[in-house]
Amino acid sequence: MNTFLNFEVDLENFIDQLNNKLQHNKKRIKELLDTPHKTYANFVKPLEMMEEYLEHFFTPLSHLNSVSNTQQTQKVYAESLPIITQYSSELSQNLEIYKAYKTILEKEQDQLNDEQKRVLKLNIQNFELSGAHLDELTKQRLQDINIRKSELSNSFSQNLLDATNAYEYIITDEKDIEGLPSSELKSAKFTDEDEKVKYKFTLQMPSYIAYMTYGPNRAIREELYRAYVTRAPQNAQIIEELLQLRHEMANLLGFKNYAAYSLATKMAEDEKSVLNFLDNLLINSQAQAKKELQEVQSLSDETLQAHDTAFYSELLKKQKYDIDEELYRPYFEQSKVINGMFDFLNKLFNLEFKKVDLVLWDDKATAYDLYLNNTLKARLFLDLEARKSKRGGAWMHNWQAHCLDEKNNEQLASAFVVCNFPPSSKDAPSLLRHDDVVTLFHEMGHTIHHLLSDVNENEVSGVNGVEWDAVEFPSQFLENFAYEPKVLKLFASHHETGEIIPDAMIEKLVRSKNFLSASSMLRQLEFSIFDFRLHTQLYQGDEIQELLNEIRTKTALVQTPEYNKFQNGFAHIFAGGYAAGYYSYKWAEVLSADAFFEVVNEGIFNSKTAKKYLEIVLKKGGSYSMQKLFFQLMQRDPDPMALLKINGIHK
């Protein structure tokens, strides 16, 4: 059995090592192409594992650049992107490999198992979507486009990180921090050279959210909001060029637009299906969202502006549910939440997590070995606290995939979970908001989907090979349990007194779960519709803002100020993999809500559906279409009404 990889990045020699690896791979590819009688075992498998080993090498650098960003990591990462993109483009356009895959699928049809057939079919599709069958001139242009796209996405992300880190707002008047939770004040407080106590707020998510939610000074809220929604103005040019390149690429590959190209690898049938799905949610959410806004507006004498909504929403939440998020945080101490989540996964799936003592990229990062039914299955790395060198947000990044290698040895899976929770210190533990708990469960849902795979072909193992609009299904499924009383009682105990969270507090939390849920739905639909429509034709210059403004007439019930350039920070679609695919969150939420209700109805811990979910969805990874796996799990198609129900939206 292959052991887990050590986390090592040699920044000084990385580019040389990368070039050497790619040279070796190219030589090996040539040897494989010279094989007279190509089979799955002697041709496809070695190529498949070559890609896996390249991931092993490259993933630590991209991870380090995200969690411990320095000028050196930026430089090495930026230098490596064109090199690896060119290699990947050449490989994905190799006509000889494409033809060999088609021949093997045809000739070995009866000898291949379902996993192997899926590898071949997905690869053939990917070759066609990369232009392997096109003329040399077109292929070269597609390669150039891919290299430029990767450079632009990296610049977009770096600009956003730099702009976020560059801003700070200093408060000296105690009146301006009245009402802020003590834990937030502790994080913001500092003493200057003259021994004066001051408070610093930044655009880092925990700090920004704290003032927007509790900050009493409206002018400061507006200043912070303006700074946040005008970050990285240089990204506007990047967006234009990215949209041009995506549109050109789609056209070269025979698609009328990038949205159509994107849907080729997704569950959704066509553009109309996606837009109808989103419009239907919009129509069903608008009336309730308007009522929600009226309630929030009733607490303010002035017409609500974009920088007021979080503040007055929090006041309404307290009034309506008598819920103060700050009172909950002592019950959600980070390490207890982690251990409680592990306990929950143990009860649901018989998983066990054992801490491993390793030297990692940061003192706060930890590693665990994961056991399923007492058998070592995978390794998990956690890095959960916010710091300046780390990009914002939360994500799961897969490293190794479960598979059998060329010599039939089993390789176990590994993955990283990254979040940006309040930092702990010697004097203060990291106390989470309940939203943070939900985020952790969400990312863990992705993680176990990858780590529990039993699939033997790495390219369809775990999250690999899963349709993009189904990949959020396991993460959303798990996050729903963060509101279940049975689950909360496993870990929500006061970090000082040990008192388990009272039933009355849980009840309030559950009742408040769908607080302003229709408004939240409209916000997500704004992002989804904007992203999808933006890729149905080529938008440039002012047209981009005009499209967003048009969508906002239906989705933004509080007027958005003209200076808001949200798109310049929309990293999911301009620096991540969600272009023409942001709708996937809602599409997958239908699957997750539907399966979740089934498990809850069966009592959670004794649920037959939960056991089936482990066997069918988690263990089978991307080896079958999620459409097929979902039908196998539920014995029916997904019910779209489950999405409205879980959000408490009444038609």
- Size of the chain in residues: 651
* 310 vs 516: CA distance, rounded Å: 11
Q: In what order do the strands lie in the sheet with 413-421?
A: 351-356, 366-372, 375-385, 413-421, 395-400
Q: Which of 184, 352, 443, 479 is catalytic?
A: 443
Q: CATH 1.10.1370.10 region(s) of the chain?
A: 257-322+514-651
Neighbours of 459 (CB within 10 A): 25
Per CATH, is 14-160 categorized as 3.30.390? no
Burial code (b: 16+ CB inside 10 Å, e: under 16) for 568-591 equals bbbbbbbbbebbbbbbbbbbbbbb
What percent of the chain has a predicted confidence (pLDDT) above 90?
92
Which of the listed CATH numbers 3.10.310.10, 3.40.390.10, 3.30.1340.10, 3.10.450.50 matches domain 330-476? 3.40.390.10
Strand order in the sheet with 168-171: 168-171, 197-202, 189-191
Distance of CA 7 to the CA centre of its chain: 22
Mean pLDDT computed over 317-330:
87
Q: pLDDT tens for residues 15-38?
A: 999 999 999 999 999 999 999 999
How confident is residue 2, by pLDDT bands cut at 50, 70 and 90? low
Domain with CATH 1.20.1050 in the chain: 14-160
Instruction: Give the sign of the dihedral formed by CA 28, CA 30, CA 36, CA 42.
Output: positive
Percent of the chain with pLDDT over 70: 100
Which pLDDT tens digit goes with each residue over 238-262?
Answer: 999 999 999 999 999 999 999 999 9
- Are 571 and 161 spatial neighbours (Cβ–Cβ below 8 Å)? no
* The amino acid at 396: M
Q: Where in the chain is the domain with CATH 3.40.390.10?
A: 330-476
> 1 pLDDT exceeds 60?
no
DSSP secondary-structure letter at 370?
Answer: E
**584-598 mean pLDDT:** 95
Per-residue CA distances from 555 to 173, 281, 312, 549 (Å): 37, 11, 19, 10
User: Quick check: is 292 catalytic?
Assistant: no
Given the candidates 1.10.1370.10, 1.20.120.640, 1.25.40.10, 2.60.40.290, the CATH classification of the domain at 257-322+514-651 is 1.10.1370.10
Q: How far apart are CA 498 and CA 440, in angstroms?
A: 22
For residues 121-127, average pLDDT? 95
Please, which residues bridge with residue 378 across strands? 370, 413
SS3 352: strand
Residue 259 CB contacts under 8 Å (≥ 6 apart), including other chains: 271, 274, 532, 535, 536, 580
Q: Which residues contact 103 (CB under 8 A, 6 or more apart)?
A: 38
* Amino acid identity, position 500: I
Instruction: Give CA–CA dist 629/648, Å, rounded.
Output: 27
From residue 357, give the alpha-carbon distance in Å to each of 10, 294, 367, 451, 560: 21, 53, 7, 20, 49
